[in-house]
Amino acid sequence: MTRMSITNTPQTATIDDAPLIGRTLTRAFDDDPMMRWFFPDDASREASLGRYFTTLFTRQYVRHAVCECTGAAASFWVPPEAAAKAVPDAETIQELTGILGDRAPVFGAAVEEAGKHTPQEPHWYLALIGADPAAQGQGHGAALLRSGLAKADAAGMPAYLESSKPDNLPFYRHFGFTVRQELQLPGGGPTLWAMWREPSRDAS
């Protein structure tokens, strides 16, 4: 059943939420430097992003990650015990390659470069978080971030994320993240900021 109210209370996302999550993340990442680098064509970007995020969610994260959504935002967290399983399988990679088209090599190089800098110590990884810009300022993204961080804190685990949008860095800093590394992606790609947060005992 489709949710009608735009609530910012996090709920566990299921496979039935795929259409909502696909639409939400497409809108959220429309101006993201990395997504615009992967999908440079303005005319086809919306459709490509929708397929991209829906594929990641249905084939990968909903199966192995902690996926939550509100009425206008979604987040995918990978706990340390699921890190190996959350890697895309061959069929998922094939599907993503078809969506990316001639940008697939660029995508592969970016994933490989980012992977070289993934922290080795156990951590909760924020793979994706995004809110529909139409709901900006209503607390959707913050609610999902708090929810995931509460789980990491309860496990006594640090958290890690990567952002290619500099405007988002103050938001993450507000929740205790600090920039650990600044990566320049190969092939003239955007800058990627790797951010780390130690576990907290504060239920803020």
pLDDT tens series, the chain, 204 aa = 344 346 789 999 999 999 999 999 999 999 999 999 999 999 999 999 999 999 999 999 999 999 999 999 999 999 999 988 877 788 888 999 999 999 999 999 998 998 889 999 999 999 999 999 999 889 999 999 999 999 999 999 999 999 999 999 999 999 999 999 999 998 889 999 999 999 987 644
Name which of 23, 9, 5 is nearest 70 in CA terms.
9
Q: Domain 11-197 belongs to what topology? A: Aminopeptidase (3.40.630)
Predicted pLDDT at 3: 43
| Residue that is written with structure tokens 């088209």 in the block | 101
Token code pair at residue 1: 């059943």
| Beta bridge mates, 130 | 74
**Secondary structure class of 176 (helix, strand, coil):** coil
Token code pair at residue 54: 């829906």
pTM for this model (two decimals) = 0.92
Q: Residues 99, 56, 141, 167: what is their CA dihedral angle, to the nearest 10 degrees? A: -40
Q: 74: buried, middle or exposed (CB in 10 Å: 19+, 13-18, 0-12)?
A: buried
Indicate the domain borders of the chain: 11-197
Q: In what order do the strands lie in the sheet with 73-78?
A: 11-12, 66-69, 73-78, 124-131, 159-163, 191-197, 178-184
Predicted pLDDT at 203: 47
Predicted pLDDT at 202: 63
Predicted pLDDT at 36: 97
Q: Where are the alpha helices (DSSP H) in the chain?
A: 18-28, 33-38, 42-56, 62-64, 90-100, 104-116, 140-154, 169-174
Predicted pLDDT at 156: 96
Predicted pLDDT at 46: 97
